[in-house]
Amino acid sequence: MNKLILFLALSLTFVGCATKTITAGKEFDAAKISHIQKGVTTADELKRLLGRPFTTSVQGDAVVWNYYWKKGKATTTQSSDGPVVTSQGEKKTLEVWIRNGVVVDFNYKDDPFWNEQLKASP
């Protein structure tokens, strides 16, 4: 009888728990960023170095190439208020400003991320 109660208690503990690997963006090799030189590296060289950007935009007279990659795990658990989704992992972002076909500036960030939110019940 005690084994049955223990089994049921453990089974109920894990009901509603799920973990999933999440990815977003396009992977790029951050070690190659050290090869980028402002005023020297061309857009073609940048493309050969890191591949095509995830997105592009225009800011004033510059084109901005955005490289973005996020990988982590999302876990759903059941709380007394409903399902809770927690996600955590690493993300890296590189923004490169290009004017007249040449890199004029860039900004790189490599940060962990963490988020927790209560999902609305239907």
Span 78-105, mean pLDDT?
Answer: 91
CA dihedral 77, 83, 86, 87 (to 10 degrees): 100
Distance CA 107, CA 110 (A): 10
- % of the chain residues with pLDDT over 70: 82
**Residue 11 has what pLDDT?**
47
This prediction has a pTM of 0.72
Task: Output the average pLDDT for the chain.
Answer: 85
Position 117 scores a pLDDT of 72
More confident residue, 53 or 84: 53
Residues with Cβ < 8 Å from 104, sequence gap 6 or more? 38, 39, 62, 97, 98
pLDDT at residue 2 tops 60: no
Neighbouring residues of 112: CB distance < 8 A, sequence distance ≥ 6: 88, 89, 90, 91
- The residue length of the chain stands at 122
